[in-house]
Amino acid sequence: MTSSPIRYERHDNVAVIVSDNPPVNALGAAVRQGLEAYVKQAVADETIGAIVIRCDGKTFFAGADITEFGKPMQDPPLPFLVDMIEASTKPVVAAIHGTALGGGLEVALSCHYRVAVPSAKLGVPEVKLGLLPGAGGTQRLPRVAGVRLALEMCATGNPISAKRAQEAGLVDRIVGEDSLAADAISYAREVVGRPIPRASERSVSPEPETVEAFRRENAKRFRGFDAPAANIACVEKATQVPFEEGVQFERQEFMKLMMGVQSAAQRHIFFAERQAAKIDDVPADTALRPIRKVGVIGAGTMGGGISMNFLSAGIPVTIVEMQQDALDRGTGVMRKNYEASAAKGRMKPEQVEAAMGALTPTLNLQDLADCDLVIEAVYESMDVKKEIFAKLDGICKPGAILASNTSYLDIDEIASVTKRPEDVLGMHFFSPANVMKLLEVVRGAKTAPDVLATVMSLAKKIGKVAVVAGVTYGFIGNRMLMPRQVEANKLLMEGATPEQIDRVHVAFGMPMGPFQMSDLAGVDIGWHRDPSRIENIRDALCAEGRWGQKKQAGFYDYDEKRTPSPSPRVQQIIDEFRAKSGATVREVTDQEIVERTIYPMVNEGALILEEGKAQRASDIDVVWIYGYGWSVYRGGPMFWAQNEETLPKIVAGLEKHGFTVARTLKDAAASGGRLK
Ligand code: T1G
């Protein structure tokens, strides 16, 4: 008989019900059953005047147990439990620390009072799982915290601080950071015998203009997602109908989302992100190397952005450049970025000074001697990188980790110029490096397990989502981008336009299409820089200085606000190349664009798995969500291929267009299996 995760304590006339269900006190069946039994016991006990519900471990209930979704729900269902708590004839106090999230906040909302420690956060992040609070949260929250804040919390899923919660009336008292248990009991004693305030009994005023304004302000942000609109509709319903009717509406909207493919996709990514942090053949308790000081070589866009990640996490950085003006420019950009964040209220001025104060700019590579990790972020040339790593080998202390930020190149070849290949790996950041969450950690043939584990752990510390990639040209993301770009260029020659191809990708849910992306990153990236050598459309654009947004001209024309518009000059260049090639220009359908630019990405992903260059199909999904903005409601290319598009359809499409289909993709399609 496994012991219950819930226990009952008696403190004179106060009953304290405690959950101890690591790691996050998810409201699994055993927790719900324990809560139900003990609340009933306390209510029936005449010597008890009030009840406290709290949690051991790092946090108050962090929500329903997501691992139970899709399985038969065991009694009591959470909606029943919260109604039962609220109906208690004795006051119930929620004692909150850590994060009261989702069903956890719904339990707290069904309690009659809420006390919290200063560091606590409260939220309903269900929308990030493609869901909505399904245990009365959309009906109680507006009644307790007001319509506007309820809309914001439900539709964005972002948590609020205990302070803000108290200001809104969601928390009744902020208690001592280290005395929650005792302070909650004291508070409970104070409310014994008082009339019991129940959220569901409160009224909430209709605020049609508030709801409409919120819908309008956030329309672009929620484009393509189902859940935000459903959350807004539920909160709106709370302002229009009695509580019970609102709860019925909430339940039907919840079930619609739960059965939908978007929530399945978003829950897939929730677990995939956490799974990606695990390295199958490296024990989770591998001893890590201490990283107290980081060196970054190169103060350009990437070097500066990479440095900011560590500085913002309180890790000192020594940044090296070759020329003083480049060094000054780079550190100047870093300060400007920090000050922009401060101007938006995302950082305090003293945090900006602390970050910049931990930065040591230098022209001398020798100053990296005492760094625990050095990240090279210079020009994408193997020769340049090998020269640098050979020098680092002689400069850096034993045990220092040497990493390259290369986007494509062979880490084993770079490691081969050092006497310490076991300390070498790739850390491929995505631009802008201080913003994009993805970090591809490229494992060399000789990379030591503890080096890999150290960098994976460090990634989480600096707020990145890390995925292990093998050594292959372009690793995972950029390797899958290549067939997409090849086909997109071919489609231009056959009759499609940059606008059409990009529109198909944006409609699919990508933030931008291949040509918009090229203009943003720079059409001239990888260009041979010889304007007399014009072999393709890209060469022709570069030769005319159409290098993308930075030149107000690329595949699109741009105004001073960088608003794109189709370019007659580009169409002329495309027409000239079509005429020269003798290609038959024809109408290209949107479906063909999907089959020839997105299906090949799935095919490449299958090849990457076959070659062992990614640990799991879900890792590939994580790369695309966090590195390229693939819409989380589609779950990433490998999830989409197996849940929305289906593998047989993709194999048929690939074969129709003459692609060689990856063996595992073909086998999985034929057997009804899945890409793992
Ligand atoms: N259910 C099951 N497992 C969970 C879980 C949950 N709600 N939350 C976290 N885990 C696991 C996670 O998979 C990982 O497992 C471990 O706990 C540590 O998580 C009816 C329907 C709480 C802020 O969406 O945001 O309530 O990898 O690495 O960085 O209305 O976890 O160790 O095996 O993230 O310290 C709503 C989701 C659910 C909160 C802690 N709640 N969790 O972050 O640890 S739906 C959420 C988080 C719901 C009701 C609806 C974070 C965290 P493993 P971690 P962390």
Q: Is residue 359 within 8 Å of 311, Cβ to Cβ? A: yes
CA dist list (Å): 30 to 33, 56, 67, 87: 5, 15, 13, 21
DSSP summary character for residue 68: G
State residue 2's pLDDT score: 64
Q: Is residue 365 within 8 Å of 391, Cβ to Cβ? A: yes
Distance 274 CA to ligand 1 centre (A): 10
| Residue 435: partners with Cβ closer than 8 Å, 6 or more residues away | 305
CA dist list (Å): 219 to 232, 258, 338: 11, 22, 29
> Ramachandran region of residue 18, left (φ > 0), alpha (ψ -120 to 50) or beta?
beta
Unique residue bearing structure tokens 């190169």: 298
The yes-or-no verdict on residue 1 having pLDDT over 60 is no
Distance 126 CA to ligand 1 centre (A): 11
State residue 633's pLDDT score: 94
Query: Is residue 67 in contact with ligand 1, taking CB distance under 6 Å?
Result: yes
State residue 431's pLDDT score: 87
Distance 61 CA to ligand 1 centre (A): 10
Query: Is residue 274 in contact with ligand 1, taking CB distance under 6 Å?
Result: yes
Cα–Cα–Cα angle for 239, 244, 245, rounded to 5 degrees: 65
Structure confidence by residue, pLDDT tens digits, 195-221: 999 999 999 988 899 999 999 999 999
Residue 99: beta bridge partners? 121
Structure confidence by residue, pLDDT tens digits, 405-455: 999 999 999 999 999 999 999 999 998 999 999 999 999 999 999 999 999
State residue 673's pLDDT score: 86
Which of the four CATH numbers 3.20.20.70, 3.30.70.870, 3.40.50.10190, 3.40.50.720 does domain 294-471 have?
Answer: 3.40.50.720
Query: Is residue 146 in contact with ligand 1, taking CB distance under 6 Å?
Result: no
Structure confidence by residue, pLDDT tens digits, 576-615: 999 998 878 999 999 999 999 999 999 999 999 999 999 9
Query: Is residue 106 in contact with ligand 1, taking CB distance under 6 Å?
Result: yes
The yes-or-no verdict on residue 373 having pLDDT over 60 is yes
**Nearest ligand 1 atom, CA 124:** 36
| Residue 191: partners with Cβ closer than 8 Å, 6 or more residues away | 50, 91, 93, 112, 113
The yes-or-no verdict on residue 566 having pLDDT over 80 is yes
Query: Is residue 549 in contact with ligand 1, taking CB distance under 6 Å?
Result: no
Query: Is residue 533 in contact with ligand 1, taking CB distance under 6 Å?
Result: no
Distance 127 CA to ligand 1 centre (A): 13
CA dist list (Å): 665 to 11, 596, 636, 638, 660: 61, 16, 16, 10, 11
* Ligand 1 site-directed mutation target among 24, 138, 231, most atoms within 8 Å of CB: 24
Structure confidence by residue, pLDDT tens digits, 83-142: 999 999 999 999 999 999 999 999 999 999 999 999 999 999 999 999 999 999 999 999
Query: Is residue 614 in contact with ligand 1, taking CB distance under 6 Å?
Result: no
What is the CATH topology of the domain spanning 496-581? Answer: N-(1-d-carboxylethyl)-l-norvaline Dehydrogenase; domain 2 (1.10.1040)
Distance 634 CA to ligand 1 centre (A): 20
The distance from CA 589 to its chain's CA centroid, rounded to whole angstroms, is 33
Which residue from 486, 502, 490, 519 is spatially nearest to 578, judged by alpha carbons? 490
How far separated are the first and last CA of the chain, in Å rounded?
Answer: 35
Q: Which CATH architecture has domain 6-259?
A: Alpha-Beta Complex (3.90)
Distance 24 CA to ligand 1 centre (A): 6
Ligand 1: residue whose CA is nearest its atom 28:
274
Q: Is residue 445 within 8 Å of 472, Cβ to Cβ? A: no
How far is residue 540's CA from residue 536's CA, in Å, rounded to a whole number?
6
DSSP summary character for residue 548: B
Query: Is residue 323 in contact with ligand 1, taking CB distance under 6 Å?
Result: no
What's the pLDDT band for 287 if we cut at 50, 70, 90? very high
Positions annotated as catalytic residues are 106, 126
State residue 206's pLDDT score: 87
Distance 72 CA to ligand 1 centre (A): 20
Distance 406 CA to ligand 1 centre (A): 33
State residue 78's pLDDT score: 97
State residue 189's pLDDT score: 98
Distance 386 CA to ligand 1 centre (A): 43
State residue 489's pLDDT score: 95
Percent share of the chain, pLDDT over 70: 100
How far is residue 188's CA from residue 580's CA, in Å, rounded to a whole number?
83
How far is residue 384's CA from residue 297's CA, in Å, rounded to a whole number?
12
Ligand 1: residue whose CA is nearest its atom 14:
274
* Ligand 1 site-directed mutation target among 32, 66, 73, most atoms within 8 Å of CB: 66
Q: Is residue 320 within 8 Å of 356, Cβ to Cβ? A: no
Query: Is residue 16 in contact with ligand 1, taking CB distance under 6 Å?
Result: no
Percent share of the chain, pLDDT over 90: 92
| Residue 282: partners with Cβ closer than 8 Å, 6 or more residues away | 449, 452, 453
Q: Is residue 197 within 8 Å of 158, Cβ to Cβ? A: no
**Nearest ligand 1 atom, CA 277:** 27
State residue 340's pLDDT score: 94
Query: Is residue 366 in contact with ligand 1, taking CB distance under 6 Å?
Result: no
Whether 6-259 shares its CATH topology with 496-581 is answered no
State residue 509's pLDDT score: 84
**Nearest ligand 1 atom, CA 58:** 35
Query: Is residue 100 in contact with ligand 1, taking CB distance under 6 Å?
Result: no
Query: Is residue 130 in contact with ligand 1, taking CB distance under 6 Å?
Result: no
**HSE-up (13 A, CA, CB side) for residue 665:** 31
Q: What is the mean pLDDT of residues 140-162?
A: 98
Report the chain's mean pLDDT, rounded to a whole number.
95
User: What ipTM was reported for this prediction?
Assistant: 0.97
- Can you give the length of the chain in residues? 676
Ligand 1: residue whose CA is nearest its atom 37:
62
Ligand 1: residue whose CA is nearest its atom 55:
24
Domain ranges of the chain: 6-259, 294-471, 496-581
How far is residue 490's CA from residue 86's CA, in Å, rounded to a whole number?
63
The yes-or-no verdict on residue 508 having pLDDT over 90 is no
How far is residue 92's CA from residue 192's CA, in Å, rounded to a whole number?
10
Q: Is residue 415 within 8 Å of 443, Cβ to Cβ? A: no
